[in-house]
């Protein structure tokens, strides 16, 4: 299995506070990896290091063998990694078509003439429509973001990341704020969409243990900035003490 992203003895400190403490992990092609842990475990810090937003205090972060410490999301997207966010912050007055097109135009290197490219470039239009179709957003292409449901906004957020055609996508709570009945529909669309556009690995930060158990190939649990467990879902969910530590109670 080809390793795509890895950390080696990564630590992140803020003064005397240790947010991450010597975390080592490797994620390879074909994997769906869930990062879990209680609040304050270091999940956000780890994600920000993996996506080049932070520079580690010690250790290395590599993507496809390249040091990506602090490179930032724009440079990282060009290398082949994209990120969607738990809190969906999109321009409310843009349409779904315009929002997805931002990623497509960026991938095609035409960001200097975005509006002109959107209006007249058939390649951009076809790419936008293809991504929208993958996430069942094609009926909403001319709708403004402000008119979408929370679930549709979450899909649009991930669709915009997929428009970059990344090799690795990192998702932060991809179904947060949506109904229980919709969460598996959304996750199914995300997994199918990833396969369709050639995403090689998915990393998600997730609190919902049902989603973690159903979709993950591996579960990495953090506690107090350290790796508490790195296991297959069946082994992870067989350990009642581990589950209680991660979610604060035993599962019913």
pLDDT of 163-189, one tens digit each? 888 999 998 888 887 888 888 888 998
Rounded average pLDDT over 88-114: 75
How many domains, the chain? 1
Domain that includes residue 169, residue range? 3-247
Digit-coded pLDDT (tens) for 14-56: 999 999 999 999 999 999 999 999 988 999 999 999 998 999 9
Asked if residue 252 belongs to a domain, the reply is no
Please state the rounded mean pLDDT for residues 119-146: 88
DSSP 56: -
Residue 82 lies in a domain: yes
Q: What is the pLDDT of residue 87?
A: 43
> What pLDDT, on a 0 to 100 scale, did the predictor assign at position 118?
59
What are the helix (H) ranges across 83-140?
A: 96-108, 114-120, 122-134
For residue 100, being part of any structural domain is answered with yes
Q: For 194-220, how does the pLDDT look when each residue is reduced to its tens digit (9 = 90+)?
A: 888 889 999 999 989 999 999 999 999
Domain harbouring 12, CATH code = 3.40.50.300
Which stretch of 104-118, 144-158, 238-252 has the lowest confidence by average pLDDT? 104-118
Q: Kindly report the number of other CB atoms within 10 A of residue 78's CB atom.
A: 13
Query: CB of 51 within 8 A of CB of 223?
Result: no
Judge whether 104 lies within some domain: yes
């Amino acid at each position: 299995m080809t390793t795509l992203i890895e950390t080696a003895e990564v630590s992140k400190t803020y003064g005397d506070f240790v947010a991450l403490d010597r975390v080592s992990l490797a994620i390879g092609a074909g994997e769906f990896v869930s990062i879990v842990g209680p609040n304050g475990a270091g999940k956000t810090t780890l994600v920000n290091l993996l996506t080049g937003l932070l520079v580690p205090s010690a250790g290395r972060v590599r993507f496809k063998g390249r040091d990506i410490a602090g490179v930032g999301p724009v440079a990282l997207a060009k290398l082949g990694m994209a990120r969607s966010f738990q809190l969906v912050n999109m321009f409310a007055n843009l349409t779904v078509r315009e929002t997805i097109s931002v990623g497509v135009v960026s991938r095609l290197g035409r960001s200097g003439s975005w509006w002109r490219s959107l209006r007249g470039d058939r390649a951009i239009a076809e790419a936008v429509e293809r991504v929208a179709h993958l996430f069942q957003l094609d009926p909403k292409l001319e709708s403004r973001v402000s008119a979408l449901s929370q679930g549709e906004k979450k899909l649009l957020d991930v669709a915009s990341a997929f428009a970059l055609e990344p090799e690795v996508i990192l998702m932060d709570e991809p179904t947060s704020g949506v109904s229980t009945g919709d969460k598996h529909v959304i996750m199914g669309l995300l997994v199918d969409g990833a396969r369709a556009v050639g995403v090689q690995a998915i990393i998600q930060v997730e609190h919902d243990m049902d989603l973690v158990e159903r979709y993950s190939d591996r579960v990495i649990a953090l506690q107090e900035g350290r790796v508490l467990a790195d296991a297959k879902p069946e082994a992870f969910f067989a350990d009642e003490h581990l589950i209680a530590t991660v979610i604060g109670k035993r599962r019913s």
